[in-house]
Amino acid sequence: MQRLQGKRAVVTGAAQGIGAAIARRLAEEGATVALLDLDADKAGAVLGTPHFGLACDVSDTASVDAAFAQVQARLGGVDILVNNAGRGSAPGDGMDLFYAAQAERAQQIAEGKVPSVFVDQTIHCSDEGWSQVLTVTLDGVFRCSRAAVRLMAEEGIGGSIINIGSTAGVKGNGPVPYCTAKAAVLGMTRAMACELADRGIRVNAVNPGATETPIYAGLPPELKDSIAADSVLKRLASPEEVTGAVAFLASEDASFATGSTVTVNGGAYFA
């Protein structure tokens, strides 16, 4: 069943991981997909024609606006936007200390010891490191939503925006800049849902749990095991397991859903 036949979709951060999986799923559902990423060639290789990749730095307004101008020129507009692009770490944000401490704490717990290592990311996070995470993970969602809404409003036929949040934005069990950004994305989702309802634009979020992406691939085994054990299913998700919720929210099956958050986290928390 192709629920998105004839729809025009934009997916950010689409060159790999969850973004690439979402782009493939929307294409399977019948949409024509513009895959936006810093690496346009890699994004373009995810799907063949008529889908296409575009260079886009979501931390830069001019880059975002230029990418959406190309989308309008090639597709005539946008029906679906998936804000997936995010940045989990940046130089100077203390992320290396965070993961090193978490790995050591996980090892201590595995050995039956009381954890004695402090994480201390907040102490060591610089202003620049903080800002670099938020300008992509939070501000980038706003920039792309603004560009898409301009096109949706111009056509006057409504649309659907899906923001990719994170379990970390609810539980707070991750790096402080990233958790803060993802929590704010959920607030933005609700605020935009209220504002844009009269235009027929629905705005929802999907909150994935820990997922097998390049970020997790580089973690120490003890830390990955600890993260997996935090959910009742005791494993990480595949990127493809996140895509069903996105396709649902993009489709008319979710025509009465806006301001909602669909949680896909293996039971890391219950909401």
What positions carry a catalytic annotation? 178
Residue 6, amino acid:
G
Cα–Cα distance for residue pair 8/205, rounded to 1 Å: 19
Q: SS3 of 263, please? A: strand
CB 193 within 8 A of CB 259: yes
Q: What are phi and psi of 263, to 5 degrees?
A: -95, 125
Nearest by Cα to 211 from 226, 223, 227 = 227
Burial (CB count within 10 angstroms: exposed 0-12, middle 13-18, buried 19+), residue 48: exposed
